[in-house]
Amino acid sequence: MNGWIEPLSFSIVGAALLLSLIGLWFTVIIPGIDRWSRHFFIYYFMVFMLCCLFSIAETLFQNHPIPETAFRFLLFLENLLLSLPVPMLTVYLLHCSHEDTHKNRFLYSVLFLWGFQLLINLLSCLASFDEIIYVTSGNRYYRGTLYPLFLLPTIIILFLNLSVTIRRRKLLSRKAFLAFLIAILSITASVTVQLFIEVFPFVGISYVISALAMYSIILSDQIEQDLRLQREIAIQQQEIAGQQREIAHERAKVMVLRMRPHFIYNTLMSIYSLCRTDPAKARQITMDFTNYLRRNFNAVASDSAVPFSTELEHTRAYLGVEQAQYDDMLAVEYDIPYTQFRLPPLTLQPIVENAVKHGMDPDSGPLHIRIRTRHTASCTTIIVEDSGPGFDPSIKIKPHTTLANIRQRLEMMCGGSLAFTAGENGGTVATVTIPDSSGQTSS
């Protein structure tokens, strides 16, 4: 190489080195590519970097007084590194095709050809077989008459890779298939031209450019696959959430249909007795009981959050029936300044019913129940306090099916929660928390 060719060659190799550094940097820092592919491209670009560095050193040492043996060894390393990416492509192709690289005949054939080229490289550079490459006294090398024999194994491997890529295209994604085609065809073209004319620097940069194109396509393909997988997972999660909502809704239906038989029986008997002693009260308890039943069955038909006012009317109807039966043994206090929010149906009434069921004890005096609502910038809370016997927080109690269903529906429908704590002066405090971001103003 002489005249203007040497500076051009130096510039091309320098550009290839810069592109290799860029490729290595992107491979290391950009997420989205699987571990195996990341390691492959790290080694791939490192081979190109080393090849460029040796090529620059070879250019710099021309016309310099260094031993010919050292210069030939430099040429050997440069040729060795430039031949490595081709069998590396074979290994990566088999990996992307989900084939086992152990005892793979195709891979063994490629390695045999690469080993043959390594032998030719040893003969030409270290054993001074000048028919392939000969070096002058000024540390300049020239192609011998048998130089095509040096490139023949690489060309055969490239065509084998191309053939296997086409045959295994159904095992590759569309973008992976395109990436291998670009890499193999561009390298094949540059090496084939090198058979006839000296374009060695262009061979190096074609390797790097094809590697960058291959890396970018593989990266975009894997990111696209990850996004597709995330979308599928999101759809599956939505389907699971929908199924959970349906299950919770069905449980709510069962909860309504499994109303306490003794509650219905006692209510009807109370109405029967009051028809003679207090007809007006009998009419009122009949109206409350009818309202309670109607709202129970309306709640079954609803699969979305309802206004708090609807739940409150349901609860009042239930308490009206209970108060008619217990007379002065049940006292209810309402402190509800805020009502403009929504919650799952059958939330408040079952909690109040649970307080009456477990808190009522004729031997312990009247049961006092207080229902409150509070609103902050972040959430709305409903507090149901009773003066019953309460519970010991240290004792683990088996979760109640109805209350577990309320918790599940609160969490799924509005991101809410239900918690029970012991009251300061005895009794139990039930707290429903509904985040303000999920709550909606009641209509």
Structural domain contains residue 77: yes
Q: What is the pLDDT of residue 397?
A: 54
Instruction: Judge if 28 and 68 occupy the same domain.
Output: yes
pLDDT along the chain (443 residues), means of 10: 60 81 85 84 89 80 72 84 89 87 87 91 78 74 81 91 90 86 88 79 77 82 80 82 66 53 66 76 81 70 78 88 83 92 87 86 84 91 89 60 80 86 86 75 44
Instruction: Judge if 126 and 263 occupy the same domain.
Output: no
CATH number of the domain to which 377 belongs: 3.30.565.10
Instruction: Judge if 220 and 309 occupy the same domain.
Output: no
Instruction: Judge if 210 and 143 occupy the same domain.
Output: yes
Instruction: Judge if 195 and 280 occupy the same domain.
Output: no
Structural domain contains residue 252: no
- Residue where one domain finishes, among candidates 199, 233, 267: 233
Structural domain contains residue 339: yes
CATH number of the domain to which 57 belongs: 1.20.1070
Instruction: Judge if 136 and 283 occupy the same domain.
Output: no
Cβ–Cβ < 8 Å for 193, 205: no
- Residue 338 lies in domain: 259-435
Instruction: Judge if 190 and 273 occupy the same domain.
Output: no
* pTM value surpassing 0.85: no
Q: What is the pLDDT of residue 163?
A: 92
Instruction: Judge if 290 and 414 occupy the same domain.
Output: yes
Structural domain contains residue 243: no
Instruction: Judge if 265 and 299 occupy the same domain.
Output: yes
Q: What is the pLDDT of residue 439?
A: 44
Structural domain contains residue 273: yes
Instruction: Judge if 303 and 200 occupy the same domain.
Output: no
Instruction: Judge if 187 and 271 occupy the same domain.
Output: no
Structural domain contains residue 23: yes
Q: How many domains does the chain have?
A: 2
Instruction: Judge if 70 and 162 occupy the same domain.
Output: yes
Q: What is the pLDDT of residue 393?
A: 62
